[in-house]
Amino acid sequence: MDLAAIVALNVVNGAASLFLLCLGLAIIFGMMRIINLAHGEFVMLGAYAAVIAANAGINIWISMLVVAPLVVGLFGLVVERCLVRFLYGRLVDSMLATWGLSLLIIGLTTTIFGNTMQGVPTPLGGFAIGNYRTSWYTLFLLAVALGMMAIVYAVLRYTRFGLIARAVMQNPDMAAVLGVNPAHIYMATFSLGAAVTGLAGGVLAPVSGITPVMGSAYVAKAFITVVGGGAAIISGTLSASGLFGFINQLGAYFTTPVYGEVILFLSAIVLIRILPQGISGRFFKGTV
């Protein structure tokens, strides 16, 4: 019974982290049809921002939940203006350029901060379920994931920006009809996606190794989850991260963590083959 509870907690936690990791990429992919291969590096920058801020004496919660998204959001703005805006509608080129960007960021970070960095301890203690110990932080991650989901949903559903963004998502020409400049929407969307990614990096910092190449561990997972989820940002990412997180954790539980990943990747390939439009393209048409 305790074991079941702990496995369930792990599964939920796996899905929640995956969701957090993917949400920013999904926003950018879903609304702009750009695949940001520097996504992993955005996560890494979020983690660095949080760790550096925390080590500089800023409250750890503020570092994770405010500094990280702010820094990466601003960075995303710069990237959109200097790079991505030249590549709209050129999917393959945008992948190549953002892949270049990812290398550039890794190189810069290595040059400035070296190959490793002192992380921050995991805040909040642990608690026990029967004989098994786990940390409150796991539950915190879950709460952040739920919170983010609520916020993004509310923004897309109830704000003017959300309305316009959804219109642009359906049809780029709509924006002109609504009297807004699509360039502004794209700019805002990209930096929003970056900020969300930065937040993910921030809250994952205490539970990850902080290195310049930490992003490459995330990018592929996020990439396939988003593609597997399809174009709908919330329902797609949620269903795909739920499914993949579940498969990953169960696989890891019954075999080894490495094979858990392998099983995750294999099932992702099969899913993409069966549903090229992603889960949401098949089952949740027209949702956000």
Partner 1 sequence: MSDTVKLSAQIAAVLVACIVVAVMPLYADLFQLMQFTLFASMAVLALSLGFIWGFGGILCFGQTAFFGLGAYAYAVAAINYGDSTPAILCAVIVPALFALALGYFVFYGRISDVYLGVITLTVTLILFNVFNSTAGDEYTIGTARLGGFNGMPAVPTFNMPFDPTAILYPEDSWYVTGGALIAIYVGLRLLLRSRFGRVAIAVRENETRAALLGYDPRVVKLWVFVLGGAIAGMGGALYVNWGAFVGPTIFALSLSAEIIIWICIGGLGTLIGPIVGCFLIQYLVSQIGSQQSFNSNLVLGAILIVFVLLLPQGLVPTLRNLVAAGWYRVSERRRETGHGQSRQMTAGQPVGAE
Q: Is 106 exposed, middle or buried (0-12, 13-18, 19+ CB in 10 A)?
A: buried
Pick 7 or 220: Cβ nearer partner 1: 220
Among positions 32, 97, 203, 210, the unique one binding partner 1 when judged by CB under 8 A: 97
Binding region for partner 1 (CB under 8 A) out of 87-95, 119-127, 128-136, 188-196: 87-95
Among positions 59, 86, 170, 209, the unique one binding partner 1 when judged by CB under 8 A: 86
Q: Does 256 help bind partner 1 (rule: CB under 8 A)?
A: yes
Closest CA to 187 of 19, 34, 49, 17: 34
Q: Does 114 help bind partner 1 (rule: CB under 8 A)?
A: no
DSSP 3-state of 79: helix
Contact letters for partner 1, residues 198-237 (x by CB under 8 A): ------------------x---x--xx--x----------
How near is the Cβ of 219 to partner 1 at its closest, in Å? 8
DSSP string of 261-281, one letter each residue: HHHHHHHHHHHHHH-TTHHHH
Q: Does 273 help bind partner 1 (rule: CB under 8 A)?
A: yes
Q: Does 91 help bind partner 1 (rule: CB under 8 A)?
A: yes
How near is the Cβ of 161 to partner 1 at its closest, in Å? 27
Closest CA to 237 of 23, 75, 79: 23
Among positions 56, 57, 111, 118, the unique one binding partner 1 when judged by CB under 8 A: 111
Helix axes 182-204, 136-158, angle to 10 degrees: 170
Q: Does 105 help bind partner 1 (rule: CB under 8 A)?
A: yes
Residue keyed to tokens 């393959």: 92
Contact 236, 229 (CB under 8 A): yes
Q: Does 108 help bind partner 1 (rule: CB under 8 A)?
A: yes
Neighbours of 183 (CB within 10 A): 13
Residues 21-80 that bind partner 1 (CB under 8 A): 35
Q: Does 107 help bind partner 1 (rule: CB under 8 A)?
A: yes
DSSP 3-state of 105: helix
Pick 96 or 183: Cβ nearer partner 1: 96
With CB under 8 A, what is the number of residues at the site for partner 1?
Answer: 40
Q: Is 250 exposed, middle or buried (0-12, 13-18, 19+ CB in 10 A)?
A: middle
Among positions 7, 58, 70, 95, the unique one binding partner 1 when judged by CB under 8 A: 95
Q: Does 250 help bind partner 1 (rule: CB under 8 A)?
A: no
Cα angle: 157, vertex 281, 197; to 5 degrees: 55
Q: Does 268 help bind partner 1 (rule: CB under 8 A)?
A: yes
How near is the Cβ of 76 to partner 1 at its closest, in Å? 16
Burial 59-73 (b: 16+ CB within 10 A, else e): ebeebbbbbbbbbbb
Kindly list the residues in this chain that would bind partner 1 in the complex (CB under 8 A): 35, 83, 86-87, 91-93, 95-97, 99-108, 110-111, 216, 220, 223-224, 227, 256, 258-259, 261-262, 265-266, 268-269, 272-274, 276
